[in-house]
Structure 1
Amino acid sequence: MKPPQWGYWCECWTKDLAEGWQPALLAAFDAYSAPQADRWVAVTLRTISPALDADASDEAWEWLYEGRIETRRALLRSEPCTVSVTHANTRITWTIRPVLFLPLMHRQGAELSACAETFETFKPHPAG
């Protein structure tokens, strides 16, 4: 069995500020290095920046040019990081947290613990 591995859990959330809606998770990503984690945010910001309003685009490029190195340094110190931009009434927030990824046991060819037999296979509810 593989040993646990340190990495980063990355999420992208949005929140409508005008309507007061609860935040919605848009995407999640498992990164295995600080460069991979901050690159996920950087690629996303570069991709969406042309569609953002001027202020949000400026926020995005400010982080890309100035804030990204501080984010990388914080991640290398195992500190969680947040990057946010506000477009119109929508706040977009990326979070990156250091985590310990635990290996999963493959169900074939391995003896599972006794408690594994107590879990039932997922059965969807019938439509109706």
Structure 2
Amino acid sequence: MNGPTRGYWCECWTEKVTSAGGSARLASFDAYSAPQADRWVAIALRTISPALDSDASDEAWAWLHEERAETRRALMRSEPCTVTITHAEVRITWTIRPVLFLPLAHRQAAELPACADSFKPERAD
């Protein structure tokens, strides 16, 4: 079994900016390099930018053209990063955090840890 692998945990959250606002996680992604992590945000921003209001679109393109390089440099220094744009009454935030991914136990040709036998899944009635 291999040891931990360095990578980045990426999430996209939305939050209503009104007083009755709530938040929801839209997506998550496991990236194994800084370029892969910031590319995930870049693809999302390019994809949604035509549907954004002009201010939010400007924010998106400013990050893509001016701030993305600094985000990647920060990630390579193992610093967490956040990219946020606000469209109408919705704040969209992408977070990228350095993490260690732990290997999972392989189920074939390997002995599982003793605790695996004590797991009993709940039955849905």
**1:90-113 CA distances to partner (integer Å, 9 max, x unpaired)?**
000000000000010012321112
**Paired position in structure 1 for 2:9:** 9
Are residues 1:114 and 2:114 paired? yes
- Measure how far apart 1:7 and its partner are: 0.3
Deviation at 1:122, TM superposition (A): 4.7
Check if 1:47 corresponds to 2:67: no
Provide the rounded CA distance (Å) in 2 between the counterparts of 1:121 and 1:107: 17
Paired residues for 1:25-64 under 5 Å = 25-64=25-64
When the two structures are superposed, what TM-score results if normalisation uses the length of structure 1?
Answer: 0.93
Q: Deviations over 1:68-103 (max 9, x none)?
A: 011000000000000000000000000000000001
Identity of aligned residues (%): 70
Shift, 1:20, TM fit:
3.2
The number of equivalent residue pairs is 125
- Structure 2: how far apart are the matches of 1:13 and 1:96? 12
Provide runs of 4+ in structure 1 moved above 6 Å: none
Give me the whole-angstrom Cα distance separating, in 1, the residues matched to 2:36 and 2:49: 20
Please give the TM-score of this superposition, normalised by the length of structure 2.
Answer: 0.95
Q: 1:27 aligns to what SS in structure 2?
A: strand
* Structure 2 counterparts to residues 89-104 of structure 1, below 5 A: 89-104=89-104
- CA-based RMSD of the aligned residues comes to 1.1
Partner of 1:79: 79
In structure 1, runs of 5+ residues without a counterpart are none
Question: Offset of 1:118 from its aligned partner?
Answer: 1.0
Structure 2 letter corresponding to 1:49: S
